[in-house]
Amino acid sequence: MSPILPVAQRGEEILKLKAAQVADIEFNSEWLQQLAAAMYATMSERSGVGIAAPQVYISKRLIIVASRPNPRYPDAPEMDAVVMVNPEILDFSQETCFGEEGCLSVPNERGQVERAQVVKVRYQTLKGKVVETVYEGFPARIVQHEVDHLDGILFVERI
Residues annotated as part of the active site = 146
Query: Does 70 sit near ligand K2U (CB under 6 A)?
Result: yes
Residue 147 in the binding site for ligand K2U (CB under 6 A): no
CB burial readout 108-143, b (16+ within 10 A) else e: eeeeebebbbbbbbebbebeeeeeeeebebbbbbbb
Task: Report 106-135 residues binding ligand K2U (CB under 6 A).
Answer: none
> Does 141 participate in binding ligand K2U (rule CB under 6 A)?
yes
DSSP string, 51-117: EEGGGGT--BSEEEE----BTTBTT------EEEEEEEEEEE-S-EEEEEE--TTSTT--EEEEEES
64 binds Zn ion (CB under 5 A): no
Binding residue for ligand K2U, selected from 104, 116, 147, 150, defined by CB under 6 A: 104
In whole angstroms, the minimum distance from the beta carbon of 87 to ligand K2U comes to 13
Residues that bind ligand K2U (CB under 6 A): 48-52, 70, 72-73, 101-105, 141-142, 145-146, 149
